[in-house]
């Protein structure tokens, strides 16, 4: 069983590592950001509600996000575990995830914090803006997303560290190098 969270600032490379780890462990990588973007693209009711928040770099309200994750985790493909990328991001989302886990008698194997300094993050996001044309990768919105992350999500790291769940991994370097670091850190944690 492998239930993992991936936490880190915008641009730390969570999405890239999530798909790598999904392959390594044979578990689905669930990105709330991807799910929201897919809904925006298809103009679903959820997408229409989420769009204005996303475009300004704000978080989508917890009520919407929590419901989405609760439903997604019921999917049979989560039977052997899952990797949540970009959830939880608020204290309220942590509470929701705690209660979902409690209802299924499950617990997290680890919370992976992917670190990256802000200069590098801004550089990566600027590159991605050109490559992918994401509507929230403009300079103003990037700055807002980073501020929202510092205020609402960074404190969760302290909390997971206090619970003994946290592993911290440097997100700078080659993609495969970072994946290896994560695998090693998980092994080390399992043995401790
Ligand atoms: P990044 O990590 O680069 O900010 P994501 O793709 O994870 O990118 O998220 C993009 C946007 O989707 C966020 O700025 C936010 O509006 C919304 N979003 C994603 N995950 C959550 C979440 N857990 N809670 C609230 N909003 C979220």
- Please state the CATH superfamily assignment of the domain spanning residues 2-183 in this structure: P-loop containing nucleotide triphosphate hydrolases (3.40.50.300)
- The residue ranges of every structural domain in the chain are 2-183
The more confident residue out of 24 and 191 is 24
To the query of whether residue 128 is one of the catalytic residues in this protein, the response is: yes
Which of 39, 58, 60, when mutated, tests ligand 1's pocket best, judged by the most ligand atoms within 8 Å of its CB?
60
Tens of pLDDT, residue by residue over 125-174, are 989 999 998 889 888 899 899 999 999 999 999 999 999 999 999 999 99
Cβ-Cβ contacts under 8 Å for 69 (sequence gap 6 or more)? 30, 32, 84, 87, 93, 96, 97, 100
How many CB atoms sit inside 10 A of residue 183's CB? 15
Tens of pLDDT, residue by residue over 59-83, are 999 999 999 999 999 999 999 999 9
Predicted confidence band of residue 122 (pLDDT cuts 50, 70, 90): confident
């Amino acid at each position: 069983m492998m239930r993992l969270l991936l936490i880190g600032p915008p641009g730390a490379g969570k999405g890239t590592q999530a798909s790598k780890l999904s392959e390594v462990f044979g578990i689905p990588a669930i990105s709330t950001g991807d799910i929201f973007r897919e809904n925006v693209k298809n103009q679903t009711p959820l997408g229409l509600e989420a769009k204005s928040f996303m475009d300004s770099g704000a978080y989508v309200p917890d009520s919407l996000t929590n419901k989405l994750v609760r439903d997604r985790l019921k999917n049979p493909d989560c039977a052997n575990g899952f990797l949540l990328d970009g959830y939880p991001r608020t204290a309220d989302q942590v509470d929701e995830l705690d209660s979902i886990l409690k209802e299924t008698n499950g617990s997290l194997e680890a919370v992976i914090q992917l670190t990256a300094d802000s200069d590098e993050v801004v550089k990566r996001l600027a590159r991605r803006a050109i490559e992918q044309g994401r509507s929230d990768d403009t300079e103003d919105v990037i700055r807002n997303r980073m501020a929202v992350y510092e205020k609402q999500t960074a404190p969760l790291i302290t909390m997971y560290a206090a619970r003994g769940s946290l592993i911290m991994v440097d997100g700078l370097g080659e993609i495969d190098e970072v994946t290896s670091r994560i695998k090693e850190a998980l092994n080390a944690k399992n043995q401790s």
